[in-house]
A and B are shown apart, each in its own frame.
Chain A
Amino acid sequence: MDKSYFEVIRPGINTTFQDLGRKNLYHIGIPFSGAMDNRNFILANAIAGNKENTPIIEFAYQGPLLKFKGEKINFNITGNVSFNLIKKDDQIEGNCYENYTLEDGDQLDILSTNKSVYGYLAISGNFKVQIQWGSCSTNTKANVGANDGKKIEKNQVIKILDTHSHNSKRKLEYLNSKIESIRVIRGTNFNYFSENGKKNFFNEEFTVTKLTDRMGMRLEGTKIENIVDTNIKSEGIVKGVIQVPTDGNPIVMLSDHGTIGGYPKIGVVISSDYDKLVQLPPGSKIKFKEIELSDAELLFKLYQMETKNIIAKIK
């Protein structure tokens, strides 16, 4: 079976192997990484009939164009994605959250994510990937993880280790919902900001800028005024932390963030809203809403339960 593979005709913008992330390495400077949108990652593996943490392909904006060589395999795509399955004498417009079969010579053209950023491609089986520190997650800045820590490139080959024959008709009716506001817990430097700054942070709208990637999301809007110091002694950061540097524009730290930072933290995005946050493309408007820790914990439980319920609906 290891003779099956994909040829990369077009790599897409930011196509990498990801799983659920890499633990216990912040202290040496290696971030958690892993799939940006955990729910869509988990759903792709569930529809494929894989184990939850199986390495799959993540793409952003424009996905890859792949030519399949080998025996039949099943695949599915999750997110909000337009893609075509190009067969010898037929072209099928694909639906997300639905298994399809690829045969020798077929092409899979992942055209774009729609009003969102990330999508996932899972095969029923395993890609042949390097595991580093217990994870395949590709961190292209440190060149750590699968594919020598690099994005998937034009003309390379993506090898398939093994496949399992799974019901090719498996699918799920699911729509990614849009988020009205991103819920945030006060950060450890909340009092570095003026009364006006705090008020603006929770009342005004911010725009996601183009300077947004797997490391961080830069926002623009009303400047958040700092009245204490625009630098702090460098200290640890976690994903979802919102730092406000000297220019007053907030930056949300995302999965490949630097492990240490020196800007004041005004807030932290709650765990249950992270998947929806990262799917907001440049130009989107964001509003932050303050909530308490106990509510955030409850919302996370509900979010995890909801994911389980969605998986239970796969037929």
Chain B
Amino acid sequence: MIKNISNLGDAALYCDFGNEVNQEVNSKVIKYFKNIKEKEIEGITNLTPSYNKLIISFDLNLTNFNNLKKIIENLELNELEKIKSNKIKIPICCDKEFALDIKKLEKKLKMSEEKIYERFFSKEYFCYMTGFIAGLPFLGDLDESLKSRRLETPRVKIPKGSVGIAEQFCNIYTFESPGGWNIIGNTPTNIFDKKNELKPNLINPGDTLVFEQISIDQFEKHNG
């Protein structure tokens, strides 16, 4: 299922599952990720699954590229127990103080604000991966008509809770961070909890999400 394994520097394997991005390819990545994690293979220090790649970092004191490549190529994959995919509801407020890029998007997409939100809220989303910053979920797929490019110049600071869209994906900034996605709202829900060491992320790969539009009053009540 891995199309090719190459080295990313001298201390990581780059497992390529192809160029396409869809849930089928991504679930293969997740399958490898979970199997490798369970086996606790000596020397592996980190696993980074993404849409269609899996990076395996290792400690060069304990193993090396060729050893690990052999192990991964001969890995016996256990079927995953049907992962209990959580369905999570996330409230989003689209008040103008939060929807920083909605006016720009109306122009970019040649679509009214109402139409953009109608299409955005009508879909269910799938979590492909988490990362970049702690707990940030990469969700998809947006309605075809909402695809847009990232900002030409990324923002230095995006407020915590911001919901952004770019290409066919959407994300939620788990804390203040730089970033280049088009911001269309903000959620009062805490997505990353560092105090919960066992399960710090509210949203994990494989989860399904629905968004619910809330008013500024409901947003403030939530935070109150």
Smallest CB-CB separation from A246: which chain B residue? B152
Interface size class of B (residues with CB under 8 A): 35 or more
User: A236 and B131: CB pair below 8 A?
Assistant: yes
Given contacts A23-B46, A26-B47, A258-B132, contact A271 B11 (CB under 8 A): yes
Interface size class of A (residues with CB under 8 A): 35 or more
Given contacts A269-B9, A300-B60, contact A234 B132 (CB under 8 A): yes
Smallest CB-CB separation from B14: which chain A residue? A188
Smallest CB-CB separation from B33: which chain A residue? A27
Is A28 at the interface (CB under 8 A from chain B)?
yes
Tell me the smallest distance from the CB of B17 to a CB of chain A, in Å.
Answer: 10
Instruction: Write the A158-193 contact mask toward B (1 if CB under 8 angstroms, else 0).
Output: 000000000000000000000000000101100000
Is B161 at the interface (CB under 8 A from chain A)?
no
Is B165 at the interface (CB under 8 A from chain A)?
no
Stretch of A87-95, A96-104, A141-149 contacting B (4+ beta carbons < 8 Å):
A141-149
Within 8 A of B (CB), among A121-143: 132-133, 141-143
Is A196 at the interface (CB under 8 A from chain B)?
no
Q: Which residues of A contact B131 (CB under 8 A)?
A: 26-29, 236, 258-260
Tell me the smallest distance from the CB of A235 to a CB of chain B, in Å.
Answer: 4
User: A265 and B8: CB pair below 8 A?
Assistant: yes
Q: Which residues of B contact A296 (CB under 8 A)?
A: 9-10
User: B7 and A293: CB pair below 8 A?
Assistant: yes
Residue among B9, B49, B177 with max Cβ neighbours from chain A (10 Å): B9
User: A259 and B64: CB pair below 8 A?
Assistant: no
User: B200 and A28: CB pair below 8 A?
Assistant: yes
Q: Which residues of B contact A188 (CB under 8 A)?
A: 6, 8, 14
Q: Which residues of B contact A304 (CB under 8 A)?
A: 61
Stretch of B50-58, B77-85, B88-96, B110-118 contacting A (4+ beta carbons < 8 Å):
B50-58
Smallest CB-CB separation from A184: which chain B residue? B9
User: A24 and B133: CB pair below 8 A?
Assistant: no
Tell me the smallest distance from the CB of B180 to a CB of chain A, in Å.
Answer: 9
Stretch of B100-108, B134-142, B182-190, B211-219 contacting A (4+ beta carbons < 8 Å):
B134-142
Tell me the smallest distance from the CB of B151 to a CB of chain A, in Å.
Answer: 12
Is A270 at the interface (CB under 8 A from chain B)?
yes
Q: How many A-B residue pairs have CB under 8 A?
A: 138
Docked CA distance A188–B136 (Å): 24
Tell me the smallest distance from the CB of B198 to a CB of chain A, in Å.
Answer: 10
Is B125 at the interface (CB under 8 A from chain A)?
no
Smallest CB-CB separation from A265: which chain B residue? B8
Q: Which residues of B contact A235 (CB under 8 A)?
A: 48, 50-53, 55
User: A260 and B132: CB pair below 8 A?
Assistant: yes
Within 8 A of A (CB), among B163-212: 174-175, 177, 192, 194, 197, 200-201, 205
Residue among A27, A234, A296 with max Cβ neighbours from chain B (10 Å): A27
Is B12 at the interface (CB under 8 A from chain A)?
yes
User: B134 and A144: CB pair below 8 A?
Assistant: yes
Residue in B9, B33, B64 whose beta carbon sits within 8 Å of that of A185 in the complex: B9
User: A238 and B197: CB pair below 8 A?
Assistant: no
Is B99 at the interface (CB under 8 A from chain A)?
no
Residue among B11, B47, B52 with max Cβ neighbours from chain A (10 Å): B11
Q: A23-B45, A258-B133 are in contact. List 11 more A-B contacts (CB 8 A).
A: A26-B55, A27-B46, A27-B131, A29-B135, A149-B194, A188-B8, A235-B53, A235-B55, A259-B131, A268-B9, A297-B10
A-to-B contact residues, CB < 8 Å: 23-30, 32, 132-133, 141-144, 149, 185, 187-188, 231, 233-238, 240-241, 258-261, 265, 268-271, 293, 296-297, 300, 304
**Considering the complex of A and B, which 5 residue pairs feature the smallest CB-CB distances, nearest first?**
A236-B48, A268-B9, A236-B55, A29-B131, A296-B10
Can you give 13 A-B contacts (C-beta < 8 A)? A27-B129, A28-B135, A144-B134, A185-B7, A185-B9, A236-B49, A236-B50, A241-B8, A259-B131, A260-B129, A260-B131, A260-B132, A268-B9
